[in-house]
A and B are shown apart, each in its own frame.
Chain A
Amino acid sequence: MEKFRATDRAAAEELFNACYPRLAGWVRRLVDDDDTAHEIAAEAFTRLLARWSSLENPQSYLYVIATNLVRDHWRRTGRERRALRAVSAASQEDPVLHPAQDVDVRALIQSLPDRLRQPFLLYHYAGFPIRDVATMLGRPEGTVKADLHQARARLRAALGESRV
């Protein structure tokens, strides 16, 4: 069984204190709900601590896990919204309220394929440099740059269409 020593705990607690507020804030902006943000951030830390001794870059691991959990949340809430619409013909509105300035871009980011969404969130939102994003996702830096360019082009095009 993996050992979790006192020094590991101290380091983990220090990382938690240092990273949790920003990670949870990052997630909140993506899911627009404090409770869900806490759930996702706590789950990311749980997975991190469960694999603590085998990780070289805990912070990167945290954000990759959180990105995947956010994706799962979006998929789940998307299914729920579709189900609600199906049973309630009168309800034509999105039952989840979002800040107006965020909802369009966020909805469009949700629609990006995983291949583009992951590097987009890690680079543009979490603030990791391209080199780190490439390492996190196991892709060449050139591929990450191309993915980011493609993601931005798609978002701009979609934003343009939505405003016409």
Chain B
Amino acid sequence: MSEPRDELESWLSVQVQPLLPPPGTFERVSRQARRRRTRRAVLAGTGAVALAAVAAVVIPQVAIPALETGRQVSAAGSTHGPAASPHHPSPLVSSPVPAPTPSGPAGVAAAPPPLSVTFVGVSTGWVIGQASLTGQCDRPAAPDCVVLQRTDSAGAAWRTVNPPPAHGPAGATGVSQVRFLTPSDGWAFGPQLWATHDGGQTWAQIPTGGLRVTALETRGQQVFAVWARCTGTGQDFASHCTRFTVYSSPAGSDSWAPAGATLTAGAGAAGGAASLLLTGTTAYLLGPAGNLLAGPLTGASLQPVQQAAATPSGAARPSSTATPPGGPAALPCAAGPAQADGQPSRALLAAGASAGGGLDLLCTGPSAGGQQSKTVYASPDGGQTWRRAGLAPAAGTAFFLSGSPSGTLVLATSLGIEVSADGGASWSAAGGAMPPGGFAYAGMTTDAQGVAVPADPAQHAVWFTYDGGRTWQRSPVSG
């Protein structure tokens, strides 16, 4: 006889598998809702007795233009085109995935880098990783080690698709990460750069003149990347980087050109790091010295963000990088050494909810004994001024910070995921079964749905949330 308590708990613990809408569902639902609104209006205006007589005439004449236009929803449920609202970070997440470096930035990583994930809308996404976990995938003679998989069901099922003909990251060659802007236009990078414009059927390598691509983001109709001069070896391709330049290209072509001044890293054995952040209107480059450049998404040159003439009370101005009011603004902390894929380890930048350029920044201290100080700063004006917003839990090492469209902060750490709905003032640990080693990346595709990548690639899975980051569930990646 089975135990009744166990059976009930077992039934309740089974995760809900998403069921995607058939094509055209939203349009059909919208039409039906419009008819009901119209009927209700007719009822209110003429009375129920007259409804049957007039509805057939009135309903077709009532047009709600907003319902007849707008973005198209594809069969897979993904939206295409530029973000609908400029103050939303992006309903179309192209997700960067930093990799933790347990042995330090200059160390020789024994394990392959974590998976890298990118989503176009809520249903369609790609994961890139290595087929081998034994460190044999970083050899130029092993081009088949890179595996690219695609889902059109929000992770319910994955299938293997054609990857770029490259091996895993090894010094100046190989790839480790992926981004897609649309189902057609995608890029694999880190450190080499490859592009596809036919959904991955064919890939072309983009020459970078020996520079390594350590970050890449895409939004609207443009793609931006950080091309860096680095000397790191093996999988630490993004370590020992000294010069960083933003390049951009129209998403549909491969016309790459510099989009801003070259930034240099300060003194340091491991070099520095730089990261990219794209909001609805602006491309930001976080430089190695805590400097911030910004430019329009059109691809025009990024310029230093200028400090506000009058710094509001409480705004942060770091002593080491302070500049006179009106000069170039500096972040409250420097970028620090690179994580294994080039993302800064000491300054994690995310888009905030404020209209007109809200930004959030997590400044981290050294990790010791499983603890790390994590201070959150917020900027309401695109980085001109910063104020201290709160402290994230000290337990664990922070790997990645991201913001949902409405501004909820999601922090991936070596222990799991922390969520803040009040701009970093207070944090809650997310629920669900967390992988050993925590997460290298967590980001929200919408306010409700998000995806996270475990720090340990041996998990062969990504994690999804459908409740705004409160709980996460595992989605095995196998095609």
Contacts and interface: CB of A to CB of B under 8 A. Distances in A.
A156 interface: yes
A116 B245 CA distance: 61
Given A8-B66, A18-B447, A104-B7, A38 B25 contact: yes
B87 to A, nearest CB: 12
A13 B71 contact: yes
B8 A24 contact: no
Contacts of A90: none
B12 A125 contact: yes
A16 B26 contact: yes
B331 interface: no
A17 B29 contact: no
B79 A17 contact: yes
Contacts, number: 155
A132 to B, nearest CB: 11
A24 B449 contact: no
Contacts of A59: 448
B8 A156 contact: yes
A2 B37 CA distance: 7
Nearest to B71: A13
B41 interface: yes
Contact of B84 (A10, A20, A27, A46): A10
Interface residues of B, number: 60
A37 interface: yes
Contact of B33 (A29, A41, A46, A124): A46
A157 to B, nearest CB: 8
B163 interface: no
Given A6-B66, A50-B33, A59-B448, 5 more contacts: A13-B70, A19-B448, A24-B18, A38-B21, A156-B8
6 contacts: A1-B38, A6-B70, A22-B449, A37-B19, A50-B32, A127-B470
Interface of A: 1-2, 4-10, 12-14, 16-22, 24-29, 34, 37-38, 41-42, 45-50, 52, 59, 101-102, 104-105, 124-125, 127, 152, 155-157, 159-160, 163-164
Interface of B: 1-2, 4-5, 7-8, 10-12, 14, 16-22, 25-26, 28-30, 32-34, 36-38, 40-41, 62, 64-67, 69-71, 73, 77-79, 84-85, 91, 121-123, 153-154, 405, 445-449, 466-467, 470-471
